[in-house]
Amino acid sequence: MSFKSAVITFPGSNCDRDALTYLKDLTHGEVFNIWHEESSLPNVDLVILPGGFSFGDYLRSGAMASKSNIIHDVIDHANNGGYLLGICNGFQILTEIGLLKGALIQNKSIKFLGKDCYIKKKFDNKFNCNIKDTEVLQIPVAHNEGNFYCDQETLSYLQNEELIAFEYCRGEGSIDDGNINGSLDNIAGITNKNRNILGMMPHPERAYQDFHVSKDGKKIIESILS
Amino acid sequence: MNDEIILQHGLTLDEFKVIKDYLKRDLTIEELGIFSAMWNEHCCYKTSKKWLKKLPTSNEIVIQGPGENAGIIDVKDNDGIAFKIESHNHPSYIEPFNGAATGVGGILRDIFTMGARPIATLDSIRFGEISTDKTNYLLNGVVHGIGHYGNCIGIPNIGGECEFDQTYDYNNLVNAMAIGHVKNDSIFYSKPKTIGGLIVYIGSKTGKDGIHGASMASDVFSEDDEDEKRPSVQVGDPFMEKLLMEGCLELMSSGLIESMQDMGAAGITSSSVEMASKGNVGVHINLDKVPLRQPLTPYEILLSESQERMLAVIERDNNEKIKEILKKWQIDYEVIGEITNTKRVVFSSNEKIVVDLPVDIIVDDAPEYDREFSLPKKRKQRNFDTSKLNIEKMISNYMNNLNYLDKSWVYNQYDSTVMGDTIKEPGQSAGVVKIHNSEKAIGASTDCNPLYIRINPEKGMMYTVLEAYRNLIASNIKPMAITNNLNFASPLDPNIMGEIVLSISGLSDIAKNLDTPIVSGNVSLYNQTNDRPINPTPVIGMVGCNSNWKKLLQNKFIKENDELIILGKSLDSDFSPYFLQDQKITSSICEFNELLAPDIDLEIKTAKFIQKAAEKDLIQSSNDISRGGIFMSLIKMTQKNLGFSIEVNDEKDIFCEYSAGYILAIDQKNKEEVFSILNKDQIDFLSLGQVKLNTFEINSKKFNYSDMLNMYYKNFYKLIN
């Protein structure tokens, strides 16, 4: 059976086309683009909440999108074990919905950060199972609110349950000085307890083609498909 | 109407007399507002028109030259590239964040108004001495504003320039450029076609922001000042612009509208007048129908510069379908008037006609001046004493000057990779994006060498264009066309007027020589505070294409032991203005030698060679030589642990400027073939050295590799804090 996936577009999403292209190029299956006002999702294996500034980031990043019509079905999809990936603004939306713990607050530098960053895998899950523990991925980030924050209890929970998927590091792999935005424990991406929902700040859909900075972003889709 | 009101509207009494003699009646205050908006420098180019006519604006690849919202060139296979640069200098000084942000918003609207989807932005920003708090505040605000707007709407910023010089202390410059992709058979123009067609308003509600000369408005027209003192700088909302862009592009592809015009400077006035003028028709607009954010008088509605608004013409039958599409994007939409056959611009409010003017007088009879100008004096030739310089001092002078350092502090605040098609990000010789779903690479560079132009406007302008040209060639992008943003001080000063006239003449010459016509542009005059004019700063944006992105040249070293060679001719220290200024030999503008004439034949010959060798995969990487000479060009080519070892006759030479200058890195196995082509093409070259691991070596003198790179990449952060 061929792999099916969908990308949700909110007003202000600006990485929806990038995510659609990424899925089409790498899954070779059917890819749907779903407008936020739709009430139901087609039957798919993976849903991406793309990056951007949904609803202008007014109120708080991701806050208004988390109340969109389609979100009920996105929650159902995840509760039924479907894969759900939130990238950048998508990660922010997932924390606003409550599907993922913590929050993304303003970067420590109080400036937008658009550059390549390095991340590596922390704990194993379906989104990173094809990536070696020592491997360093080079992937662009572009965010103003990417600084992962939560209370100490939640942080311990994420550590103990092994829900941290990716952490920022330096090019050669050391964690020291690799933190680009002030995130607690260098967290770049986390999953839910069932490990079928991943939120991450870096943009894998900007790192997979020949002319991109790297092809490391491929590894996430390859992991899911494996 | 008394003289004071007329003068407050920026019209001269002579200009007013022309209008009155034509109309043979008194003007309404709204009509005076219209002339004030349409007859100013920004809209009618009254000072520059005479000279701008001399520019080459067409060749076989130009689909649309100046006169529309943006210029468009043909890059084959039905692909067109729309682009334009525009200034937001004055607003960015008053309110840097919103001034710069709305500059980006305005230029993006110019692109998508033509049916093109924006695919990249660039910028060109200039500030005064960084040591002042004011400059720091302006730099932070402007960069934040440009970033905020572009990042939010999701268009990658792929390059630009950022210069610091004391002549910009009281007049910083913010020029924003945008590039869009359009199918050549789906271009939209502002010319309406159908008499009786409906004029519709799309986008944000109209408010008081940007009403020209807020001070004037409050002095004369308002009793309750409180409300009127709102700043006259427009406030941008990139989220609304994103919705407007998607809504308009969907409308245009649906075939439901026939023409479109964005409401930029002078808002609804200039957009409707231009529509009427282009179509040789009339317009009748009911101002009571304009969606408002707050109660406004007809005068205020006419002159508001609220952002994110469009005017379109549609056939009556399509009204309901359009409403449906825009509802999805939550955009205001209102029928506000219709196209008439009267060739008059008519605005009514409260069932009263407030404006009724023939289009002709507003557009065709707009003033055109032939201002007095003077030519620069002949310069005495002199030799400069550089004996006190040694290599350490020269390195230190450049590495502690913001203008030479890596600007990642700036461009890391921009999203350069959104849309997924960016090939070359800022910090390289040119910015490059791929046209989505194609192999074509579109490259662009913004440039200006104000010091050169100050010394000799004509030749200096040529050097400016040639620098952009080399930036594209160094990436193997074929330069195709130009957009310009002529920033100058007051044209009422004959010396400044001379700079304007001569630099346009230089631009015209070089554009003809390179066959790169000027397809769009903008003029910004009066950039001066009291007696302090800015350096002449005619910025150009050059755009080009390579039909196969895989043939692009990298600008960084690729591997160890590659051979480094130099093409081009050194200008020598006596004729390198930036070298003399920044090595602190002289700072007095009257002391510089006359610029050497640029060697255009050599530039073209060298460019052709690089293109040929790149297509044959004979070059590993290349970089052009500009301000900072071979030395700075080499530093920019280092990456990871790949450094260099070079030998030169005179160490001073590697810090001087060049004509047709490039550094090429060539694989040893291709060396003989490259040398033989160079010999055959009769192009002189010099062997410089090799790429070496973790090495920074000049004439056997070893410098610490990571210390040098740290200075280049980190000193900007240190110097601005």
Q: Which tens digit of pLDDT belongs to each residue from B563-593?
A: 999 999 999 999 999 999 999 999 899 999 9
In angstroms, rounded to a whole number, what is the distance separating the alpha carbons of residues B688 and B566?
7
Q: Is the pLDDT of residue B442 over 90?
A: yes
* A116 Cα to chain B: minimum distance (Å): 9
Alpha carbon dihedral A137, A138, A143, A147, in 10-degree steps, equals 40
Phi, psi of B528, deg, nearest 5: -155, 155
Query: Percent of chain B, pLDDT > 90?
Result: 88
Would you call B237 an interface residue with chain A, using a CB distance cutoff of 8 Å? yes
Q: How many residues does chain B have?
A: 721
Rounded-to-integer distance, Cα B677 and Cα B664, Å = 14
Give the closest residue to A224 by CA, choosing from A29, A16, A10: A29
Q: Is the pLDDT of residue B711 over 60?
A: yes
How does residue B554 score in pLDDT terms, banded at 50, 70 and 90?
Answer: very high
Comparing CA positions, the residue from B154, B122, B188 lying closest to residue B543 is B122
Which residues of A participate in catalysis according to the annotation? 88, 203, 205
- pLDDT at position B217: 31
Say yes or no: B243 contacts chain A, CB-CB below 8 A. Answer: yes
B151 touching A (Cβ < 8 Å):
yes
DSSP B27-85: PPHHHHHHHHHHSSHHHH-TTTHHHHTTS----TTEEE-BTBSSEEEE-STTEEEEEEE
Task: Indicate if the pLDDT at residue B220 is higher than 60.
Answer: no
Q: Is B412 on the interface with A (CB under 8 A)?
A: yes
Residues of B76-102 as b/e, b for ≥16 C-beta within 10 angstroms? eeebbbbbbbbbbbbbbbebbbbbbbb
With vertex at residue B702, the alpha carbon angle to CA B699 and CA B705, rounded to the nearest 5 degrees, is 125
CB contact under 8 A, B239 and A205: no
User: What distance in Å separates residue A113's CA from the closest CA in chain B?
Assistant: 5
For residue B185, is pLDDT > 70? yes
Determine the pLDDT at residue B228: 47
Residues of chain B neighbouring A111 (CB-CB closer than 8 A):
144, 412-413
Active site residues of B: 42, 88
Nearest CA in chain A to B152: A53
Are the C-beta atoms of B455 and B589 separated by less than 8 Å?
A: yes
DSSP B71-82: EEEE-STTEEEE
Inter-residue contact B542 to B442 (CB < 8 Å):
no
Q: Which of B152, B158, B418 to mutate to test the interface with A (most CBs of A within 10 A)?
A: B418
Measured in degrees and rounded to the nearest 5, phi and psi for residue B192 equal -75, 155
Chain A hits for B417, Cβ within 8 Å: 114, 140, 142, 203, 206, 213
Q: How far apart are CA A143 and CA A110, in angstroms?
A: 11
Residues 6+ apart with CB under 8 A from B387: none
Q: For residue A211, give the nearest of B144, B152, B423 by CB distance.
A: B423
Least confident range of A128-132, B174-178, B530-534: B530-534
Chain B interface test: which of A53, A113, A211, A215 (most B C-beta within 10 Å):
A211
Distance CA B315, CA B256 (A): 8
**Confidence category of residue B216, pLDDT binned at 50, 70, 90:** very low
Chain A nearest-CA distance from B419, in A, is 6
Q: What is the distance between the terminal CA atoms of chain B, rounded to a whole angstrom?
A: 53
DSSP H helices, B422-574, are 450-455, 457-473, 494-514
Which residues of A are less than 8 Å from B325 in CB distance? none
Q: A23: part of which helix (H) or strand (E)?
A: helix A16-27
CB contacts < 8 A (A, B): 89
End-to-end CA distance of chain A: 14
pLDDT at B211 over 90: no
Residue among B239, B413, B434 whose CB faces A114 most closely = B413
CB-based contact, B710 to chain A, within 8 Å: no
Nearest CA in chain B to A210: B550
pLDDT of A1: 61
User: By C-alpha distance, which of B562, B552, B712, B687 is closest to B631?
Assistant: B712
Q: CA-CA distance, A140 to B414, in Å (whole number)?
A: 12
What mean pLDDT comes out for the span B652-663?
96
Tell me what percent of the residues of chain B surpass a pLDDT of 70: 97
The dihedral over CA atoms of B287, B291, B296, B297, expressed in degrees to the nearest 10, equals 0
CB contact under 8 A, B151 and A144: yes
Mean pLDDT by 10 residues, chain A (226 residues): 93 97 97 96 97 94 96 97 98 98 96 97 97 97 98 98 97 91 97 98 98 97 96
| A53 to B413: CB separation less than 8 angstroms, yes or no | no
Judge contact between B82 and B114, C-beta under 8 A: yes
Neighbours of B20 (CB within 10 A): 14
* Residue B231 confidence (pLDDT): 55
Sorting pLDDT into bands at 50, 70 and 90, what band is B531? confident
**Tens digit of each residue's pLDDT (9 = 90 or more) over B446-477:** 999 999 999 999 999 999 999 999 999 999 99
The torsion angles phi and psi of B86, rounded to 5 degrees, stand at -145, 150
Q: What is the pLDDT of residues B317-365, one digit of tens each?
A: 999 999 999 999 999 999 999 999 999 999 999 999 999 999 999 988 8
